[in-house]
Structure formats: structure tokens, C-alpha cells
């Protein structure tokens, strides 16, 4: 069996931040909205002192609690709430566009882990504010809600301030996709100002596994919505940053990242690199036969364990930052908790937790990632089920896909991601392969390379690591603005 650390750190979101509003799990106070509520419900009509609970007869086991909330950026309307699935409760926050919320697109964002809060994206990368210290937040000028309405979701249960009443857990992406798709449908159905609006699903790291399945569930669910007289969700695209979309190609890319000069000079001695290279063909053959051609729980796990011990784990003894090979972490090791600020003190403050309404059942000390959730996904070998077929199926149905990668990242690096895009089997593969990498320009300067054909785009960003919006906020915002406007990079 492969080690839990592989799943956390290879998926590369072992750091995160969280924010949530929670009511007591024994019962929910607030406005109860009956089944089949009119779709004319307006966000502006929501209470800021109590939750409004939304239900729909098409999803009898799901409901959504939502209320107005002034936090992070008081220049826009913000809303927080929960997706309630029986005894399971998933937190989300929603920020309207700074430009024109009545016309701008809607973006869904999730971080990865598996088991880490999407508040990493909210407070550290692309959200309306950042946490520079335990004293509070400051406005982030390059937020992705500059021209878009945006969701941040803590999923699955047990992540961030999401919780379960009786110890329930989710341990596969397939199961999580059902809850996300139901939430998306309920939200759009109840708030008519967003019905039919262009919708994009975005995220990074283990979201390379999450998003193709989440987006596929949303797309397939549209048939059910139309049959029930509901407006289908206008899913336009998927955006994956430094994603773990093809675990097997990523494992084989570590030799290039560590033993050639693609980012930094070789970091190992010659004998180590020779030994690593000698296992490449064996790893490729074993993983293809046991994981891709015909999935075998025991043999696939054994293949990955063997290959990670040679190609993956040695990096953590180098002291280099796994999210940016050009840097070291705070304590001189690769302990990811010391690589970036987390805002842990701020989000653990009793006054902040009281403001957010965090349930007393939640640990009073904030944790960015859930080890229990990570171990559950590890035990199910969720990462070892190929995701590429979902990406291909979305492309065939006209859903655009953007794969963007910070070039300094080690763990979900550009070598592995490019190999994934080139190897993806879909009807546009031959033409995609013919496209040369070209510069994409911001303010007259090349900020990376890109290749694109018929809705499938691969793009790199110079000087960025795993957390692209953190390292390159201006360039990443420009990328997203062009993408949702259907303009070439």
C-alpha cells in the first residue's frame, strides 16, 4: 500500500485556510423555504442575521442554507452558507462581481488535498481579500471576482469548517460530485438573476481529479433538470491549475524535474539520477498494466508505492519547497506547513469564530487540512482511478478545458501536465499536437507559453509555483479574464 503522505503532498494542498458559518447541528434556525420555491428568489432579499433554507423537490435529500455576510471585502455583496445533505454539511462562500454581478459569469472554485479547505484560494490566492496577519484581512485588488461572481466550497465533509453530525465521511470523488452537482442546480434554480449565466468550474492540485468529475456530473444532470422543467446549468468551461489530472504521467515526470535542468540544475548526485532513470520504463509499464488498462487494487497500489519511493519521496529530504523548486521552506526542510503562511491564528481566534458562527462541535483550533479525510481518500485509492476520460468527454461535448501550470512547481509540474495534454485521446488530438507552443503576452511581455485547439488550452506561467494566483496575481487574473471572454491567451 502507498503512504498517506503521498496523497496529501503529491496532490499538493497540504496547506490551506478556512472560513465558515455554521449553526448548531441539532437543528437549524432561520427562514424555512418550502419545496418548489419560486425561482424569483433574490439574493438581495436574504437576511444577514439568519439563514434562509432552500429546498427543491428534485433533490429531496439536499438543501442549502444561505445568508448575507459582510466579510473579506465589504465593497461587494457576500453570502455564506451550507449545503446540507442529511447529516453532512458543506460550507461555501459566494462573492458577487466587483464589475457587474447582474451580467458577469459565475466561477466555482475548489482547492484539493484531498482534504484541504478552499479557503486557501479565498484568503491566499484569488479571493477578494488576504490575511497578512492575525489582525484581520485586507482587500486583494487582483481578485478573480474583478469581473466574475465566484464560489468557494469546502468539500468534502470534514474539510475546513464543514462537518458531519454522526461521523459520516466521503472517500471518493464520485460521491462528492453528486453533492456538488445538486448544490449547483439548487442555487441557480432559486436565484433567477444567475439562471443561464455562463458557469466555469475551477481549482488546483487535487482539483485535477475533482473537477472533471464534478463538471461531468453537472453536465449530465442537465438532462434531469430539463425533464423537470428547470433551467439547465450553462456549463462553459473547466479551469485546472497545476492539477493532478494524470497521476501516472506526473509520477514519471519527477525524473525530469529533479535530474535535468528544466527549472533548476539537477538536485541529486549522478548515481541517484541514474538509479531513478533505470526504473522509469518499469514504472510506466507496471502502472499502465495495473492501473490504466485494467485497474487492480493490489497491483496498482504496489506499482505506485514502488515508483513513488524512487521518484517522489527523496525530494522531501532536499529542503526545497515542493510548490516552488527555486525556494526553500521556512525551517530548511520540505515541511509544507512552513512553506506558506496559513492564517491559522486569525481563523482560530474566538472573536472570528463567533463572527463566522462556527459550530461548537468544530475543533476550536483551526486546521487547514483534514488528515482523516485524506486517509479515507487514500484508502479508497481515489487518486489512482484515471480521470482523463472525463476531460475528453467534456471536450467532445463542447465544454472548454484550460490546463494552466506555474513552471516552478515540483509536485504537479508542467512536464507532467504537458504530457497529459499531449497524450489525451479525443477527436481534436491530432490537430492539438500540430500546434506549436507560442508566447502569450501581458503588457507587451511574454509571461508563459501556450498551445490551444478547439476549446482545449495548455498554458504555463513563468515565475509561478503551485499556487499561481499567489505568485502571479496580475497575470493569472488576465488569463482568467481572457478565458471567460473566449479570447485567446
User: Are 209 and 380 within 8 A, CB to CB?
Assistant: no
Q: What is the rounded distance in angstroms from the CA atom of residue 467 to the CA atom of residue 124?
A: 9
Q: Which of 127, 152, 150, 128 is nearest to 199 (CA)?
A: 150
Q: What is the rounded distance in angstroms from the CA atom of residue 259 to the CA atom of residue 427?
A: 35
Q: Which of 335, 316, 202 is nearest to 254 (CA)?
A: 316
237 counts as catalytic: no
Q: What is the rounded distance in angstroms from the CA atom of residue 196 to the CA atom of residue 230?
A: 11
User: Are 160 and 111 within 8 A, CB to CB?
Assistant: no
The cell numbers describing 253, all together, are 515526470
Which element (helix H / strand E) includes 475?
helix 473-484
Which element (helix H / strand E) includes 178?
helix 173-190
Residue that is written with C-alpha cell 477527436 in the block = 427
Which element (helix H / strand E) includes 450?
strand 445-453
- For 178, other C-beta atoms within 10 Å of its C-beta total 18
State CA 483 to chain mean position distance. Answer: 17
Among 119, 143, 205, 334, which one carries the catalytic annotation? Answer: 205
216 counts as catalytic: no
Give the pairing of strands 163-164 and 88-95.
antiparallel
Quickly list H helices, 195-349: 207-227, 247-259, 270-278, 280-287, 297-311, 344-348
Q: What is the rounded distance in angstroms from the CA atom of residue 65 to the CA atom of residue 85?
A: 11
Q: What is the rounded distance in angstroms from the CA atom of residue 4 to the CA atom of residue 372?
A: 10
Query: What is the separation, in whole angstroms, between the first and last Cα of the chain?
Result: 42
Q: What is the rounded distance in angstroms from the CA atom of residue 405 to the CA atom of residue 459?
A: 6
User: Are 43 and 77 within 8 A, CB to CB?
Assistant: yes
Q: What is the DSSP string of 18-39?
A: -------TT---SEEPPTT--T
20 counts as catalytic: no
CA distances, 282 to each of 81, 279, 306 (Å): 48, 5, 10
Among 104, 324, 409, 471, which one carries the catalytic annotation? Answer: 409
Q: What is the rounded distance in angstroms from the CA atom of residue 59 to the CA atom of residue 51?
A: 19
Q: Which residues does the annotation mark as catalytic? A: 205, 409, 466
Amino acid at each position: 500500500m502507498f503512504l498517506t503522505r503521498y496523497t496529501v503532498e503529491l496532490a499538493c494542498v497540504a496547506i490551506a485556510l478556512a472560513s465558515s458559518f455554521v449553526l448548531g447541528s441539532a437543528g437549524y434556525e432561520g427562514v424555512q423555504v418550502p419545496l418548489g420555491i419560486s425561482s424569483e428568489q433574490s439574493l438581495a432579499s436574504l437576511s444577514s442575521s439568519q439563514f434562509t433554507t432552500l429546498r427543491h423537490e428534485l433533490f429531496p435529500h439536499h438543501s442549502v442554507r444561505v445568508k448575507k455576510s459582510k466579510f473579506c471585502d465589504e465593497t461587494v455583496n457576500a453570502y455564506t452558507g451550507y449545503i446540507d445533505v442529511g447529516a453532512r454539511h458543506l460550507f461555501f462562500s459566494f462573492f458577487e462581481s466587483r464589475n457587474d454581478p447582474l451580467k458577469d459569469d459565475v466561477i466555482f472554485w475548489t482547492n484539493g488535498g484531498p482534504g484541504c479547505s478552499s479557503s486557501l484560494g479565498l484568503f491566499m490566492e484569488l479571493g477578494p481579500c488576504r490575511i497578512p496577519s492575525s489582525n484581520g484581512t485586507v482587500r486583494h485588488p487582483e481578485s478573480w471576482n474583478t469581473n466574475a461572481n465566484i464560489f468557494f466550497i469546502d468539500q468534502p465533509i470534514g474539510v475546513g469548517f464543514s462537518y458531519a453530525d454522526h461521523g459520516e465521511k466521503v472517500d471518493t470523488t464520485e460521491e462528492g460530485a453528486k453533492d456538488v452537482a445538486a448544490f449547483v442546480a439548487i442555487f441557480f434554480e432559486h436565484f433567477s438573476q444567475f439562471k443561464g449565466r455562463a458557469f466555469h468550474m475551477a481549482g488546483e492540485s487535487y482539483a485535477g481529479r475533482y473537477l472533471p468529475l464534478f463538471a461531468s456530473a453537472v453536465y449530465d444532470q442537465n438532462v434531469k433538470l430539463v425533464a423537470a422543467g428547470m433551467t439547465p446549468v450553462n456549463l462553459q468551461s473547466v479551469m485546472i491549475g497545476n492539477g493532478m489530472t494524470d497521476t501516472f504521467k506526473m509520477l514519471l515526470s519527477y525524473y525530469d524535474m529533479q535530474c535535468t535542468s528544466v527549472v533548476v540544475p539537477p538536485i541529486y548526485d549522478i548515481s541517484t539520477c541514474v538509479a531513478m532513470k533505470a526504473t522509469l520504463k518499469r514504472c510506466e509499464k507496471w502502472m499502465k498494466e495495473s492501473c490504466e488498462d485494467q485497474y487492480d487494487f493490489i497491483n496498482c497500489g504496489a506499482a505506485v508505492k514502488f515508483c513513488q519511493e524512487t521518484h517522489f519521496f527523496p525530494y522531501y529530504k532536499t529542503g526545497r519547497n515542493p510548490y516552488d523548486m527555486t525556494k526553500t521552506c521556512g525551517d530548511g526542510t520540505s515541511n509544507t506547513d512552513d512553506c506558506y503562511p496559513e492564517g491559522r491564528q486569525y481563523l482560530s481566534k474566538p472573536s472570528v469564530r463567533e463572527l463566522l458562527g462556527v459550530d461548537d462541535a468544530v475543533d476550536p483550533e483551526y486546521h487547514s487540512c483534514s488528515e482523516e479525510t485524506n486517509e479515507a481518500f487514500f484508502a479508497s485509492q481515489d487518486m489512482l482511478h484515471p480521470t482523463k476520460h472525463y476531460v475528453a468527454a467534456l471536450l467532445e461535448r463542447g465544454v472548454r478545458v484550460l490546463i494552466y501550470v506555474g513552471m516552478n512547481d515540483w509536485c504537479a509540474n508542467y512536464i507532467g501536465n504537458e504530457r497529459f495534454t499531449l497524450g489525451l485521446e479525443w477527436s481534436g488530438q491530432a490537430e492539438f499536437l500540430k500546434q506549436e507552443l507560442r508566447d502569450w503576452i501581458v503588457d507587451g511581455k511574454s509571461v508563459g507559453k501556450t498551445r490551444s485547439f478547439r476549446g482545449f488550452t495548455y498554458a504555463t506561467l513563468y515565475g509561478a509555483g503551485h499556487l499561481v494566483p499567489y505568485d502571479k496575481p496580475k497575470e493569472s487574473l488576465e488569463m482568467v479574464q481572457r478565458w471567460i471572454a473566449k479570447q485567446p491567451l
